[in-house]
Amino acid sequence: MEHQPTTPIVLDLTGADHHGEHETLRASGPAVLVDILGVTAWSITDPALLKTLLTSPDVSKDGRAHWPDFQEVIQTWPLNLWVGVNNMFTAYGSDHRRLRRIIAPAFAARRIADLTCVVEAIVTDILDHLATFRADETVDLREHLAYPLPIAVIGHLMGVPADQRTVFRTLADGIFDTTLSTKQQQANTKKLYAALKRLIVAKRSAPGDDMTSLLIAARDEEGDGHGLSDAELRDTLLLMITAGYETTVNVIDQAISLLLTHPEQLHRVQAGAARWNDVVEESLRLEPAVKHLPLRYAVKDIQLPDGQTIAAGEAILASYAAANRHPDWHGESADVFDISRVSKDHLAFGYGVHFCLGAPLARLEVATALRMLFTRFPRLELAVPATQLRPQGSLISNGHKSLPAQLGPSAA
Ligand code: HEM
């Protein structure tokens, strides 16, 4: 049996050295107790064990039903939105299936492939704007590419009017910022709910060909208890809009910085010897947008292979980033960015019934952004040494504060 520390490992909410922290977690065994802002949970870093738990009916995401601490935590924990929302993200069993199937068909891979032209048109506009900067000027690619693309795409799909998209961006950023106090988070949630209410009112009076209108119709046609409740409608919109913003931003940011710091691999893709999709998958493996996913709960006692027990009602943290670099999965080179590695399997989109609904869309957006960016600006480079790129202040999301670059001459 691995050594189990007597007190939980306190996770750093600023995420300043997350790779070092993930190494410590892995070294402590497949499952280790951690402290997340005062909440104790089992961090699972062993990929095989994590997959087993993510597909087990003995593990739930419904805190209301399966977490005795829920009522207390929901009042005081800064991350309470992550466990308290009423949507598929925190649902279990038949409730989860009901909430997911209302919107899942619209995100199926085949439907998303039809959006290729829409995504390309949005990227073209963004690159045209980038081309207005001088070749030697420093441009923050996070601000001028990584954010605008997912915001425009999810805004288009959900029917969020252009003048409201910036508001949602600020509020989505707040959800992922684990350095905010409970009071600051509560204020953020209040503003987010007000913005969602405005969106629902506007779409209910003037429905469009978008997913917000589709969800409102599901609410209004089927009524309480059968389709969506008012809280489920509001929180499903919250999930779709915020999940679609922040995560994809970080993958675009990470993939660009990985390519710029590994020019030989960038040249291989530009020469046609590797695919942009290889870059996307290897970036997702090495620097997943979601490092840890709070929370899951043991429905009953779970005996672990190493002899430990997760007792019924205890919380579980899916530590995806630590699992993705596990040497048992990717060998001694698990920490290395290598777009030609044979297996680039990862858990960046989760696993099991809660597998990310937006994965095909996210993959399309990131691959399109990379292909078009490096084609248009083939001599793009970082404007600062890679060691000066600062991580965001977050235990959950994995991006940089900014991504300063110089575009070089445009190929167009
Ligand atoms: C690269 C970008 C993205 C990453 C890395 C990502 C990651 C994830 C992860 C890790 C989960 C699983 C959570 C769990 O363990 O329970 C998840 C779930 C989810 N994601 Fe994403 N996501 C991305 C983009 C998107 C986009 C673009 C959308 C929507 C358009 C989206 C919508 C969702 C939804 C609705 C769920 C909840 C599914 C459920 O609970 O059944 N995601 N995502």
* 256 is a domain residue: yes
Query: Where residue 59 falls among pLDDT bands split at 50, 70, 90?
Result: very high
Closest ligand 1 atom number to CA of residue 91: 40
What pLDDT is attached to residue 219? 84
Q: Ligand 1 center to residue 49 CA distance, Å?
A: 21
pLDDT in tens, 363-374: 999 999 999 999
Closest ligand 1 atom number to CA of residue 157: 30
Nearest CA to ligand 1 atom 21: 356
Closest ligand 1 atom number to CA of residue 107: 30
Q: Which residue has the higher pLDDT, 47 or 177?
A: 47
DSSP-derived pairing of the beta strands 302-303 and 309-310: antiparallel
* 2 is a domain residue: no
What CA–CA distance (Å, rounded) separates 41 from 49? 15
pLDDT in tens, 23-40: 999 999 999 999 999 999
Q: Ligand 1 center to residue 4 CA distance, Å?
A: 31
What pLDDT is attached to residue 1? 45
* 412 is a domain residue: no
Q: Ligand 1 center to residue 354 CA distance, Å?
A: 8
What CA–CA distance (Å, rounded) separates 247 from 284? 11
User: Number of folded domains in the chain?
Assistant: 1
pLDDT in tens, 186-205: 999 999 999 999 999 999 99
Comparing CA positions, the residue from 350, 375, 373 lying closest to residue 243 is 350
Closest ligand 1 atom number to CA of residue 99: 41
Q: Which domain holds residue 106?
A: 9-406
Comparing CA positions, the residue from 340, 407, 352, 346 lying closest to residue 374 is 407
Beta partners for 31?
44
Beta partners for 140?
404
Query: Where residue 4 falls among pLDDT bands split at 50, 70, 90?
Result: low
Look up residue 388 and give its DSSP letter: G
Query: Is 154 within 8 Å of 160 (Cβ atoms)?
Result: yes
Average pLDDT, the chain: 94
Quickly count helices (H) and strands (E) in the chain: 19, 11
Q: Ligand 1 center to residue 237 CA distance, Å?
A: 13
Pick from 62, 210, 296, 356 the residue to mutate for probing ligand 1's pocket: most ligand atoms within 8 Å of its CB.
356
What CA–CA distance (Å, rounded) separates 359 from 364? 9
Percent of the chain having pLDDT more than 70? 97
Residue 2 has pLDDT above 60, yes or no: no
What pLDDT is attached to residue 225? 47
Average of per-residue pLDDT across 219-233: 75
What pLDDT is attached to residue 222? 59
Query: Where residue 226 falls among pLDDT bands split at 50, 70, 90?
Result: low
* 3 is a domain residue: no
* 411 is a domain residue: no
Q: Ligand 1 center to residue 385 CA distance, Å?
A: 32
Ligand 1 site, CB within 6 A: 88-89, 100, 154, 239-240, 243-244, 247-248, 251, 288-290, 293, 318, 320, 348-350, 354, 356-358, 361-362
Looking up tokens 């977490």 gives 67
Lowest mean pLDDT among 138-142, 210-214, 359-363: 210-214
Percent of the chain having pLDDT more than 90? 86
Lowest mean pLDDT among 191-205, 216-230, 261-275, 339-353: 216-230
* 14 is a domain residue: yes
* 109 is a domain residue: yes
* 332 is a domain residue: yes
Q: Ligand 1 center to residue 103 CA distance, Å?
A: 13
Q: In which order are the strands placed within the sheet that holds 9-10?
A: 9-10, 31-36, 39-44, 315-318, 293-298, 59-60
The domain that holds 104 is classified in CATH as 1.10.630.10
Query: Where residue 221 falls among pLDDT bands split at 50, 70, 90?
Result: confident
